[in-house]
Amino acid sequence: MTRGVTLDGIRQFGLKKIYCKCGSIVDLDKEHVVLKKKLKKSVECPMCRNMRISNDIDTMNDYFAGVVPEEC
């Protein structure tokens, strides 16, 4: 493996460090970060992204199954 290249072939200068809302500091693909910011979307670490998507899927499954959440 070439020095300065990640397993997926991204060179170190192609990465951008971000500070996620969970407190993690991670390296993400610079082009991905730029695109997210252009779309005015939040940039998050892979763990937060996976949790958000999982929650969205669970919510959609509950909606289509007819499960109504309890309201306070």
The predicted pLDDT at position 3 comes to: 60
What's the pLDDT at 1? Answer: 43
User: Full-prediction pTM beyond 0.75?
Assistant: no
CA-CA-CA-CA torsion for 55, 61, 66, 70, nearest 10 degrees? -10
Q: Which residue has the tokens 């991905």?
A: 32
How many CB atoms are located within 10 Å of the residue 3 CB?
5
Taking the C-alpha atoms of residue 12 and residue 32, their distance in angstroms, rounded to an integer, is 14
Q: Is the pLDDT of residue 57 over 60?
A: yes
Taking alpha carbons only, the member of 41, 51, 62, 48 closest to residue 20 is 48
| CA dihedral of residues 22, 28, 32, 33 (deg, nearest 10) | 60
Each residue of 4-46: pLDDT tens digit? 666 666 666 778 999 999 999 999 989 999 999 999 999 999 9
